[in-house]
Structure 1
């Protein structure tokens, strides 16, 4: 592993959830499909890459717009959340999650999650996967979800940081939506290559990018 080009550990690290900590695509898309089928008695379209990282209400609006039912977006949003809870399927932990959280705990570096996923899904996932995250914010906790910076500002303040600390906080993101949110918050977006290419993430504002959190852990351990 080459020597890190950032030569100081961050004051804090903030994590997106879906696509960074876990692979939850099947969990979410299965719930979208069953909720859409129940509400409209028709099959849903494939999940569009353009919706990655966006709030569930925006995703619901997109699915509804395809069949001209935009006014039903809120109903689909709540029904999908219900299906996600009732038919909860554990997501898959992505590489490096336990290594990096153990490292941060040992170094006394505060960390937490700010996601556009619902709070219930986050809490269920963390519980069933035995993940070491105690400070967690979901889409219900913000007036404006990502790409607004509110999610990451809310999390950073909950961890005890002031605004003049923000430029020393790393944010792990796999989506362009979340990368924009981190950048607007004045923090350092760090890309995870789950969905987008390194170029796409860097064009959106990522300082550096890694395949998974495991390579990011190695990078931090090399500083």
Structure 2
């Protein structure tokens, strides 16, 4: 194992709740509708544009390309505003120590997030210097569940996909890691049964456990 690729929302910090809260506000303001809790899983780990498509499909609505772009931009503005209070205390349990252990072991770390706000969030969390590469989701052809973002992160680290492990908390993300030919570490419930190895929460993660998962599944 030479590299570890991290998703951001729900793996490093629980910013996914901020995303869905921003979507809910957008839908209330523009369409006077409510989004059910179960829709959050379908917007988790995917791009802003793909999330908006999921929401519009649920609402059985179609909008022009101009309206679509405006809605996506408005949602992002609302989301970025909520990040003003983000700080290192918002890092999920065990992740700071895990990152430190990886760095001490000489592993390369990459961010493979669908969030275009990844660099801002890492900076606010005090983790920007820990990552050797951040894949730009705006520069990949397809978002998760396609493998593109993970392949881009591995390439940015000058590593082969088979030498990397990916950490994800979403169904789409785990699917993307698997499609990239990497060992997938799922963080969450039974919906992530397709991961190479699954852990219930970030506090269950450790360098030895992830190394063992890579050895067992490579």
- TM-score normalized by structure 1? 0.80
Q: Quote the residue 1:52 is aligned against.
A: 44
- TM-score normalized by structure 2? 0.82
The structure where helix makes up a greater share of residues is 2
Once the two structures are superposed, what CA deviation does each residue of 1:155-205 show, in whole Å capped at 9, x if it has no partner?
Answer: 0010111xxx32231111111111111111111111111xx32xx323x2x
Deviation at 1:134, TM superposition (A): 4.6
Deviation at 1:137, TM superposition (A): 2.5
On the 8 A contact 1:188/1:207 being kept in 2, the answer is: yes
> Counterparts of 1:36 and 1:182 in 2: how far apart (Å)?
31
1:209-220 equivalence runs, <5 A = 209-217=198-206, 219-220=208-209
After the TM superposition, list the runs of 4 or more consecutive aligned residues in structure 1 that deviate by more than 6 angstroms. none
Are 1:34 and 2:32 matched, yes or no?
Answer: no
> Counterparts of 1:221 and 1:167 in 2: how far apart (Å)?
14
1:46-125 equivalence runs, <5 A = 46-47=36-37, 48=39, 49-71=41-63, 72-88=67-83, 89-90=85-86, 92-118=90-116, 120=117, 122-125=118-121
> Counterparts of 1:69 and 1:168 in 2: how far apart (Å)?
43
> Counterparts of 1:66 and 1:201 in 2: how far apart (Å)?
23
Are 1:146 and 2:144 matched, yes or no?
Answer: yes
C-alpha change, 1:62 and 1:156, in structure 2 (3 Å) is: same
> Counterparts of 1:207 and 1:66 in 2: how far apart (Å)?
31
C-alpha change, 1:108 and 1:218, in structure 2 (3 Å) is: closer
* Unpaired stretches in structure 2, ≥5 consecutive residues: 213-218
C-alpha change, 1:69 and 1:176, in structure 2 (3 Å) is: same
* Unpaired stretches in structure 1, ≥5 consecutive residues: 1-9
On the 8 A contact 2:132/2:157 being kept in 1, the answer is: no
1:126-205 equivalence runs, <5 A = 126-131=122-127, 132-161=130-159, 165-193=160-188, 196-197=189-190, 200-202=191-193, 204=194
On the 8 A contact 1:97/1:214 being kept in 2, the answer is: yes
> Counterparts of 1:24 and 1:168 in 2: how far apart (Å)?
28
On the 8 A contact 1:36/1:76 being kept in 2, the answer is: no
C-alpha change, 1:36 and 1:139, in structure 2 (3 Å) is: farther
On the 8 A contact 1:14/1:112 being kept in 2, the answer is: yes
Are 1:15 and 2:11 matched, yes or no?
Answer: no
